[in-house]
Structure 1
């Protein structure tokens, strides 16, 4: 009798493909893997999906699964992807994938470490081959076996002694995530899942105030949610009739007794509150109260290291009467033990909940312990500079009507800095202290009324606390929106809420809450709107008006001035990316290497430039607009302020790279500063209103190279087709302005002799210095195309000027004639869907700087085709093709043809050649040397 072989452990993948690509040649091992049934053509599609939806863990996992069966390089990439998802989402699938990848890479300790995370925190996978795999990984790393928990709660495994997976993390294995809310008809609805066993509905219990219990019955799995992308959401509904006879408030908890997000629920408490307009304000306060001592109140739940850092920063603040920490039944024994140590040392007052009650309840416990003091309410993931409290206190007592004060922070809702929408990186304590000092230097003790305080850090004055009371956990459960409710209640009693413009605090954000955070936020925002009609409009109106921007801009400017001392150089360009951005970055790096300080002035390029009023705001930064996003100047009105700041920053020279989208006033900044100006030519904006020398003979015709006619021809071209012309300037006026700028420039630089000749043709007497942007003399080993079906790579962003229409026509002709040609666009295009619809073009999606070579190599192309139809001044895509070892085909115009003829590494075609002839050449051309 033959023994049945256990099926190999497989990771499943579901994917619909629109276009089959011939797999590029790989290692023998990888080829064997594909023969076993894995579809290698899926990889490019998943890579494209990853570029279109960066950060989606589902796509990352699918891509890693496919790569796991490839060669060593693919497996290493898979390991990186698995580890990224595992660390961020604690996904069992990702830990298992990482263990398999590490094992195949010959890393037994790495495989064991990954598998240990799975075994200790997740139930054993229900896969026939898992036990054998786990045993092999354990043995290879020197363990006696492994252990884990199955979905029924029983411990299973192999061997005795030192076991992989021990000790089991029982808290993680039993934890239930979920979200619950009241329905409009008086019922309850929500979802829950057990991360340790996500495919099985968890055991969820409903309890009422009288102690009655009901087991929750689950229905279907809800659609995927971006907030919980890797956890199935098992939905449930409890009808109003099922709640009849029960006494609110209701709680819903998992097997470990912990509430899920949104619990407890008290429909009677919510119904008893009469809605009041959010914009309504009570009568202002008449007199300032006497000053009280300050007690810091800090609820703690998760995050040992974050809480340690927070409290150490708080201990350094002078003038705090007490530091009150509320341990809301932390599931982390190490955190609880550390807090006990602080109590023993006399450093904190500790209040401890026996069961987790949520942030609002923990705050109320702390407020009770504060006993009439002013309260500094802090999240446990903040970093508090010593000077920030003094500034907030000064603001709190500057006006009798002030009830709360909130500082700026990197992650602080309407008070986020530098980017007002949040998402700013968490600073170190030293950086937070520096930013706080700069904020105080810039804005002093100034304040601005805000619609609501932000709960990560709020200074609460004692008279406002006494008048308003505490938070309302029966309505807002674990939190989100509870401080907004408190602020609105205070507003109705005549108190105001102030932003301390001269204070800054670091805030990590998101340490305590997990999968249900986004859903709980939306739930509680709905409650706020119900209790305070118009709340949403109040906040969105404040955000749209952005009265905090001047204070943020002062802080941005102070940060730039604080780093002054070196000679500064101002570079002016647009923010549309492409080759211009690449060269501007290289120019800035070169200036830094010379000991200079480069400053960058960019246009704030809009999402829809055709419908956005022109000119666009001008952004000043030291390289990245994300660093100082509030230094946005609307010219000409704010040009004097920009000039003053540039003067203060010691700008000694202006480098004019590009003015697309700028107000014309930026062109004369050098003159206003009294410094020389250099001009770097990237295109032909100096004499072509459309920049790229393209024209349309008829309104619906395809663009083509204009041939550079005389002034009358240019005027006729612009009148016939005004598209792509942003600046309302006549052709003669454009030529006159450019001639004057060239004449006054300290230096004019172009990247190619071809560009220098074209500039000289239109501006006689102008001599430009030629400085190539890449070294074409570097040794290269271009390989001749292979045999059989040919794969043609097209590199970069393919729009009208880069030959989009021509490429589309080539693909359609290849399909119509059944040619053995397929095209890969390594980058993006003006219309990806149209290219994909040809069935002969695959589009990877836009790649990051430095990624081009690996992207090109992954497709193993035979030839590069650069279908640009305008005379480029350089063409970075050609350099990428050569660095990839490819011969290139271009049209015979511009720097691209000039460079190709000089190198001999490719072929130039006459512009206007029929697409059938172009395809025949791409299919059959062979280099004669190399």
Structure 2
């Protein structure tokens, strides 16, 4: 790399490129070489190449914010601001304090968002902006909007010093001094933002004014800071409450300590809040654990809700704690936990529903060992404990479905497991842990997101553990969030957590890869499969959501019952998907070890038909399923095009012997045509010739299965030929392959980068890929190229084969270069 930089400084471009190409072949220099190749491509307006180089560099250096910003820059240059916004927002959430990412994201947002939404986002993020270049950019974007307010400012209040500080400017007339009005109880007085402010000065907005510092002699509980037109500065109004002083613990509690305080923080949402409270009250008699329902009313603006809570309190069913001003979730819950310092507590979101003896089951797990600090149940929406897919927010089931899932979880009674952190939608906390770990951080964390993670990580550092309770299902609506403000809060709090617990992220990722919760999810799903089997046995086809047909690796992703498979190391993972309310039914099998279990589970469903879709590389255990189940089968080349039926003699041996049989040429042609009806597939000159004026493809996706050594050798030969002849075509490989290193070493082949926030089709488009190519000389029943091209929406090119010549047809060879060897 030193020689490259030396040649670059001397202006010797060709020599510099020679050294950079050498560096690409050296593992230790490759990431930096990719970045410089991307910069060179960006400067020469070879934008698709720039995306490829920067994307590969980002995969090699995942912690480099500047590289992620460069990807965004290349995508913006390709005039794809929506995609740039998506990928940069994803990167920003992981590295929220990086100025290069933030600035590039604002550029992308300014081109992709409507003015009103962009303005709202800027106002949301302004309080956290401490980089002069970023502030200058966002204020410039606001000044360019005709309907944006001219006066903009950010204010803060420090209860200890009793000072209001911040800044305020007129973005359309930066030289003018802005006047503000401050309201404290009955006092109102004006002040001017006439002090120097370092951030405004560095941003080049105003040198000697814009800063704000006002001492409030006797501040009220709520303070307001407004412009002359009554518009509030960002951050106003302020809550002036005394700092939280945790009470002294009353000694160690025992496993029989009762009652438990169920804390329900409430702000708004009349129906969901009362449904949550009523679910606790309705199931009170089924729990032997004594408990009190304490509703923490955070100054709700909903008068109907406030009156309903007062009525429940007057009836003695709940304890109603009302705050005079809005505290936010963290302050609200802290004061709730401090009400009774001898009791365990349960945080219960106001949009949750509980069933049966839920509290007894959570408590039993909590007191299984002395070092357990918290317990989190299964739910449809709760991070690690989400069901059926972990870390995914699923739709909330109906009340009846919730009760059925909870009863099923109780019957399965899967063993509790240790998890990395609990989730605050429903979190049982032992008082002994609270006494040692302390309360939530209401000083540094923004309210509402990540506070339980901080508490759990703090507890773990002191030797406490956190458990998941899969024998309890608590429904959680979720989705009622702060929108973009949530993104801000998550990013802000995550940045703090990363500094406090530098190893936590690696532990969390390792936990997710290990996934010790999976056996419990699988056990509950298998119980649901039994329910589905019983339902299908007593229900006619017309009443179930689709026929009793199993689709195997087919293109119909909406099929009621699907079996998908993928190679995973030395084994194959087969996943059974069923549309079964209230939540999708998903079971995973490791083949060949669990082939018998797969066949047993499927036989219980009483299938009427098995439909094979894509069969490239299909494992024999799946090919044999139709025979093992004694079920009729067929093979499709698309959703509605039948290729062959099991009644045809030439396929009679297929299910019994699970052999890949080459299709007759005419059937193969039919397979081509049906696989890509909308992809401009041309099968030979006799069908339709390529228009003479059509630009030949410049970037091609390798559509073959590169685990086949013979086919891989053909690709390596072609790539070397292209490099020798300087053919300006890029070949892309999607996914890993044992031949990938040999292919990329030719210089003509690039691995399609996986960019977080983008789909594969997005990456293909940004890489300039406009076609797929197969070099398989004898494509047969397992040929994956048409299926892959169809899935990705690409036209397919194929070479002339011996089978095609015998049939008198010429498959596509309209390529920008000759496939014959020179």
TM-score (norm 2): 0.58
Cα deviations by residue, 1:292-329 (Å, 9 ceiling, x for unpaired): 5x7531457xxx78x778635524425175342275xx
Q: CA deviation at 1:392?
A: 0.8
* Equivalent in the alignment of 2:455: 482
How has the CA–CA distance of structure 1 residues 865 and 121 changed in structure 2, closer, same or farther, with 3 Å as cutoff?
A: closer
How has the CA–CA distance of structure 1 residues 746 and 877 changed in structure 2, closer, same or farther, with 3 Å as cutoff?
A: closer
Distance in structure 1 (CA, Å) of the matches to 2:303 and 2:613: 61
Q: How does 1:150-161 map to 2 (within 5 A)?
A: 153-158=167-172
* Equivalent in the alignment of 2:109: 98
Which of these residues, 626, 632, 638, is aligned with residue 589 of structure 2?
Answer: 632
Is the contact between residue 347 and residue 427 of structure 2 (CA under 8 Å) also seen in structure 1? yes
* Equivalent in the alignment of 2:356: 390
Is the contact between residue 704 and residue 775 of structure 2 (CA under 8 Å) also seen in structure 1? no
Within the alignment, does 1:806 sit opposite 2:714 as a pair? yes
* Equivalent in the alignment of 1:649: 605
Q: CA deviation at 1:742?
A: 0.9
* Equivalent in the alignment of 1:18: 37
Distance in structure 2 (CA, Å) of the matches to 1:536 and 1:829: 25
* Equivalent in the alignment of 2:424: 456
Cα deviations by residue, 1:391-425 (Å, 9 ceiling, x for unpaired): 31342577995697542024546533223xx321x
Q: How does 1:201-220 map to 2 (within 5 A)?
A: none
Paired positions, count: 647
Is the contact between residue 34 and residue 54 of structure 2 (CA under 8 Å) also seen in structure 1? no
Distance in structure 2 (CA, Å) of the matches to 1:623 and 1:771: 30
Distance in structure 2 (CA, Å) of the matches to 1:311 and 1:338: 14
Distance in structure 2 (CA, Å) of the matches to 1:62 and 1:537: 26
* Equivalent in the alignment of 1:823: 730
CA RMSD of aligned residues (A): 6.6
* Equivalent in the alignment of 1:504: 474
Q: CA deviation at 1:503?
A: 1.7
Distance in structure 1 (CA, Å) of the matches to 2:141 and 2:472: 59
* Equivalent in the alignment of 1:33: none
Is the contact between residue 450 and residue 498 of structure 1 (CA under 8 Å) also seen in structure 2? yes
Which of these residues, 536, 544, 548, is aligned with residue 568 of structure 1?
Answer: 548
Q: CA deviation at 1:155?
A: 0.7
* Equivalent in the alignment of 1:440: 407
Distance in structure 1 (CA, Å) of the matches to 2:623 and 2:54: 41
Distance in structure 1 (CA, Å) of the matches to 2:732 and 2:608: 43
Q: How does 1:507-546 map to 2 (within 5 A)?
A: 508=478, 513-518=489-494, 521=497, 544=516
Within the alignment, does 1:605 sit opposite 2:578 as a pair? no
Q: How does 1:29-40 map to 2 (within 5 A)?
A: 39-40=44-45
Q: How does 1:641-680 map to 2 (within 5 A)?
A: 642-655=598-611, 669-670=625-626, 673-678=629-634
Distance in structure 2 (CA, Å) of the matches to 1:544 and 1:85: 32
Cα deviations by residue, 1:687-739 (Å, 9 ceiling, x for unpaired): xxxxxxxxxxxxxxxxxxxxxxxxxxxxxxxxxxxxxxxxxxxxxxxxxxx99
* Equivalent in the alignment of 1:552: 524
Within the alignment, does 1:417 sit opposite 2:394 as a pair? no
How has the CA–CA distance of structure 1 residues 456 and 499 changed in structure 2, closer, same or farther, with 3 Å as cutoff?
A: same
* Equivalent in the alignment of 1:349: 320
Could you say what secondary structure the match of 2:309 adopts?
coil
Cα deviations by residue, 1:604-628 (Å, 9 ceiling, x for unpaired): 632xx2xx3x5x454322389x954
Is the contact between residue 454 and residue 484 of structure 1 (CA under 8 Å) also seen in structure 2? no
* Equivalent in the alignment of 2:813: 906
How has the CA–CA distance of structure 1 residues 194 and 447 changed in structure 2, closer, same or farther, with 3 Å as cutoff?
A: farther
How has the CA–CA distance of structure 1 residues 745 and 399 changed in structure 2, closer, same or farther, with 3 Å as cutoff?
A: closer
Which of these residues, 566, 576, 583, is aligned with residue 620 of structure 1?
Answer: 576
Could you say which structure has the greater relative contact order, defined with CA pairs below 8 angstroms and 6 or more residues apart? 2
Which of these residues, 283, 293, 296, is aligned with residue 325 of structure 1?
Answer: 296
Q: CA deviation at 1:158?
A: 1.7
Within the alignment, does 1:118 sit opposite 2:122 as a pair? yes
Distance in structure 1 (CA, Å) of the matches to 2:626 and 2:770: 48
Could you say what secondary structure the match of 1:851 adopts?
helix
Could you say what secondary structure the match of 1:16 adopts?
helix
How has the CA–CA distance of structure 1 residues 621 and 877 changed in structure 2, closer, same or farther, with 3 Å as cutoff?
A: closer
How has the CA–CA distance of structure 1 residues 416 and 603 changed in structure 2, closer, same or farther, with 3 Å as cutoff?
A: same
Distance in structure 1 (CA, Å) of the matches to 2:423 and 2:814: 65
How has the CA–CA distance of structure 1 residues 888 and 536 changed in structure 2, closer, same or farther, with 3 Å as cutoff?
A: closer
Q: CA deviation at 1:147?
A: 4.0
Could you say what secondary structure the match of 1:390 adopts?
coil
Is the contact between residue 264 and residue 293 of structure 2 (CA under 8 Å) also seen in structure 1? no
Cα deviations by residue, 1:655-678 (Å, 9 ceiling, x for unpaired): 456889988665655455443344
Distance in structure 2 (CA, Å) of the matches to 1:856 and 1:312: 49
Q: CA deviation at 1:46?
A: 1.7
Could you say what secondary structure the match of 1:825 adopts?
strand
Could you say what secondary structure the match of 2:491 adopts?
coil
Is the contact between residue 377 and residue 455 of structure 1 (CA under 8 Å) also seen in structure 2? no
Q: How does 1:518-917 map to 2 (within 5 A)?
A: 518=494, 521=497, 544=516, 548-549=520-521, 551-554=523-526, 556-557=528-529, 560=532, 564=536, 565=539, 566=541, 567-572=547-552, 581=553, 584-586=554-556, 592=559, 597-600=560-563, 602-603=564-565, 605-606=567-568, 609=569, 612=570, 614=571, 616=572, 618-622=574-578, 627-632=584-589, 639=596, 642-655=598-611, 669-670=625-626, 673-678=629-634, 742=653, 752-754=663-665, 773-774=675-676, 782-784=690-692, 791=698, 793-796=700-703, 799=706, 801=708, 803-817=711-725, 819-825=726-732, 827=734, 830=737, 834-845=742-753, 851=761, 855=765, 858=768, 866-873=774-781, 876=785, 888=797, 890-894=799-803, 902=809, 905-906=812-813
How has the CA–CA distance of structure 1 residues 524 and 752 changed in structure 2, closer, same or farther, with 3 Å as cutoff?
A: same
Could you say what secondary structure the match of 2:490 adopts?
coil
Distance in structure 2 (CA, Å) of the matches to 1:676 and 1:194: 73
Q: CA deviation at 1:153?
A: 2.4
Which of these residues, 74, 82, 97, is aligned with residue 85 of structure 2?
Answer: 82
Is the contact between residue 778 and residue 803 of structure 2 (CA under 8 Å) also seen in structure 1? yes
How has the CA–CA distance of structure 1 residues 645 and 137 changed in structure 2, closer, same or farther, with 3 Å as cutoff?
A: same
5+ residue gaps, structure 2, are 1-32, 97-101, 156-165, 182-197, 206-210, 212-234, 285-291, 311-318, 446-450, 542-546, 639-648
* Equivalent in the alignment of 2:160: none
5+ residue gaps, structure 1, are 1-13, 23-36, 103-109, 169-192, 204-254, 270-281, 328-335, 530-534, 573-580, 683-737, 759-767, 910-914, 921-930
Distance in structure 1 (CA, Å) of the matches to 2:723 and 2:38: 13
Distance in structure 1 (CA, Å) of the matches to 2:201 and 2:294: 36
Distance in structure 2 (CA, Å) of the matches to 1:557 and 1:356: 46
Is the contact between residue 392 and residue 500 of structure 1 (CA under 8 Å) also seen in structure 2? no
How has the CA–CA distance of structure 1 residues 751 and 366 changed in structure 2, closer, same or farther, with 3 Å as cutoff?
A: farther
Is the contact between residue 792 and residue 824 of structure 1 (CA under 8 Å) also seen in structure 2? yes
Distance in structure 2 (CA, Å) of the matches to 1:469 and 1:397: 18
How has the CA–CA distance of structure 1 residues 47 and 362 changed in structure 2, closer, same or farther, with 3 Å as cutoff?
A: farther
Could you say what secondary structure the match of 1:456 adopts?
coil
Distance in structure 2 (CA, Å) of the matches to 1:813 and 1:144: 58
Distance in structure 1 (CA, Å) of the matches to 2:467 and 2:603: 37
How has the CA–CA distance of structure 1 residues 353 and 539 changed in structure 2, closer, same or farther, with 3 Å as cutoff?
A: farther
Distance in structure 2 (CA, Å) of the matches to 1:828 and 1:634: 21
Could you say what secondary structure the match of 1:799 adopts?
coil
